[in-house]
Copies of this chain bind each other. A is one copy, B any other.
Amino acid sequence: MFVLLSIFMTLPPLLLFGNDAPNAVAFAESAGLVFALGVLGILLAYGKPRDLKPRYMFVLTVSSWLIISLISSLPFYLSDNAGISLTDAIFESTSGITTTGATVLTGLDTMDQDLLLWRSILQWIGGIGIIGMFVAVLPFLRVGGMRLFATESSEWTDKALPRMKTLSRGLLLVYVVFSILAVLTYWASGMSLFDAFNHGLTSIATGGYSTSDLSMGKFNSDLILLEATFFMMIGGMPFFLFVREMHGQHGVLWRDQQVRLFVAILLLVPLFLTLYRWYINDDFDLASGYISTLFNVTSVVTTTGYASEDYAAWGSFSFVLFFFLMFIGGCSGSTSGGMKIFRFQLSLIVLREQLMRLLHPRAVLTRNFNGRAVSDEIIASMIAYTFIFLLCFMLITLALASLHLDFTTSLSGALTSLTNVGPGLGSVIGPAGNFASIPDAAKWILCGGMLLGRLEILSVVVVLSPAFWRS
């Protein structure tokens, strides 16, 4: 973990130095600091024995994300760009590393390119970070029903370690290849190399940072919207299945129940919404309307957060639909946030089981997901996740409202941070607005929400619980 961490930490400055950078000094300072911390980390790690108890893993995971969020704000804070306060810098970096993509910066189109690049790279790191965490840490921690995806290789025994390394290498390879593909595709479709590079990284990471205040609306190209839809979908799928496809297990992706529902949602919801919009609008161009609907729905469901136009202005039905779509999230094992599709599937399984039991009290029923039996423990852990997700949603909404943000802003702000979508709804933080105008206290609350969401909430709750530190 520490080795991986220090590599991540030295990566961004190296990449950044290749570009012409108005804030070179700021980045040099930041990089030096981060590198020193990384080396310190390695030295400390070598000093200690490998203690892989749950308790240690929890602390390590939570503190890693927290520290990286704080440290990666340095370039923003130290840059010459006027008006980035410490709060704004930390908000921007937390939003980046958690692949949320909510921004407090405006005038992106004329901003220093190295800062824009740093935002995209942060999201890209965050993307591979969450994929790695899903494979290596979460199933092991039995958090939020994640044990459903545990294989022997996530048991951290000596025997499983080599297999784990193969998997990690495979994940990194797939991630890098898709990123390069995205960059090249965008470049070939008319973006500048700089725009293509940034959007390529933030598409695969389902991050959503853009180089323009208009987000993907800048390019005004249906082709690019379709390409982005494709790459966001890739980002929202379980990467370990790509690796298994690569290792010759063909069809494993398509047979996955989670992927199937994910694709079905992205096919049906935009189709339905397009027809509805066509029905209520007299002058609605079906073709371009469909592409825009498809793109923006995919952006929200994969929790990317790009926008090609102000979808919050599509009428009340769309508004409410987008609100509920923000909950869903992509597949687990992807770079997406949200509640994740498999949790809704597990809930549906429980619901069907209960309906059957109401009618046939003595029937013996078995639960199956992807051909594996679903234990009571997994269901209970999924429930716990859902309950605490909704609890956090409520508390963050109340906290934001206590700072006098309106109903829609509070509700959608809390949701968009917990699900790492990015933009909220309403006139303030909606797809056409941004987070610059909200009070500093609200920004800190949202930072907390983003980290909670990214860490599947329960991990954080465990570390914060008194029982954790007692024994």
- Residue numbers of A with Cβ under 8 A of B are 54-55, 141-143, 276, 315-317, 319-321, 323-324, 347-348, 350-351, 353-361, 376-377, 379-381, 383-384, 387-388, 394, 397-398, 401-402, 404-408, 410-411, 425, 458, 461-462, 465, 467-468, 471
A320 touches which of B55, B401, B467 (Cβ 8 Å): B401
Whether B407 contacts A316 by the Cβ 8 Å rule is yes
Whether A351 contacts B467 by the Cβ 8 Å rule is no
Interface class of chain A by DSSP: helix
Measured between beta carbons, the chain B residues less than 8 angstroms from A361 are: 54, 142
In the bound complex, what is the Cα–Cα distance between A384 and B351 (angstroms)? Answer: 5
In the bound complex, what is the Cα–Cα distance between A404 and B277 (angstroms)? Answer: 12
Given known A-B contacts A316-B401, A379-B380, A398-B324, A461 and B406 have beta carbons under 8 A apart: no
In the bound complex, what is the Cα–Cα distance between A361 and B411 (angstroms)? Answer: 35
Whether A55 contacts B379 by the Cβ 8 Å rule is no
Measured between beta carbons, the chain B residues less than 8 angstroms from A358 are: 54, 141-143, 458, 462
A317 touches which of B315, B359, B376, B401 (Cβ 8 Å): B401
Whether B355 contacts A461 by the Cβ 8 Å rule is yes
Measured between beta carbons, the chain B residues less than 8 angstroms from A425 are: 407
Measured between beta carbons, the chain B residues less than 8 angstroms from A355 are: 384, 458, 461-462, 465, 467
Chain B proximity of A289: nearest CB distance (Å): 17
Measured between beta carbons, the chain B residues less than 8 angstroms from A467 are: 355-356, 359
In the A-B complex, the 7 residue pairs with the closest CB atoms: A354-B384, A320-B401, A316-B401, A317-B401, A317-B402, A347-B387, A351-B384
Measured between beta carbons, the chain B residues less than 8 angstroms from A397 are: 320, 324
Whether A316 contacts B350 by the Cβ 8 Å rule is no
In the bound complex, what is the Cα–Cα distance between A270 and B408 (angstroms)? Answer: 23
